[in-house]
Amino acid sequence: MFFIKDFHFMKIALKEAFIAFHKNEVPIGAAITYKDSVIAKSHNLTESFSRITAHAEILAINLASKFLKEKYIRECTLYVTIEPCVMCAGALFWSQIGRVVCGASNNKRGFLYSGIKLHPRTKFVSGIMRNQCEDLIRKFFFFKRIYKSTNIRLSSN
């Protein structure tokens, strides 16, 4: 079930995804709230950091834990534009996060069909602003294909 505030916070995650888009990173964004305030926001930075673990969700979990000085972020909600992958779902499990709200689903790399489960205390909802979240990803790969086929190099920053 969605709340009105979910749209507001998902827009913040989408803005992060948009920043990633302009850095030539796969455009996935995340935001974590605590008591209805944003305490962490991040976007995918795997190319910039040359680090496969630099997914938006992992970076956001780390920031939220740092902010709260807690390893468990039970009172928090994660907003993420695309369904988390198995690595991020694992990190979310360990974080014992209270709620995960995601935009578009990810049939290829998402955790839902992998059999991996979030922590029993974690509430999960998906599909909020799905079209906008999907659109950004679709555009990203569309442009990637065009650049590739025309041999134009994308600058990395």
Closest approach, Cβ 44 to Zn ion, in A, equals: 8
For 68-87, give one letter per residue: b (16+ CB within 10 A) or e: beeeebeebbbbbbbbbbeb
If the CB atoms of residues 40 and 88 are measured against Zn ion, the closer one turns out to be 88
Instruction: Spot the catalytic one: 16, 25, 47, 57.
Output: 57
Sheet containing strand 99-104, edge to edge, reads: 37-43, 29-34, 76-82, 99-104, 123-126
* Shortest Cβ 45–Zn ion spacing (Å): 12
Residue closer to Zn ion, measured from CB, 6 or 83: 83
For residue 2, the one-letter residue type is: F
- Kindly state the smallest distance separating residue 53's Cβ from Zn ion, in Å: 8
Q: Are 54 and 23 contacting, i.e. CB atoms less than 8 angstroms apart?
A: no
134 is catalytic: no
Query: What is the binding site for Zn ion (CB under 5 A)?
Result: 55, 85, 87-88
Nearer residue to Zn ion within complex by CB, 60 or 76:
60
Q: How many residues belong to the chain?
A: 157
Which residues are tagged catalytic? 57
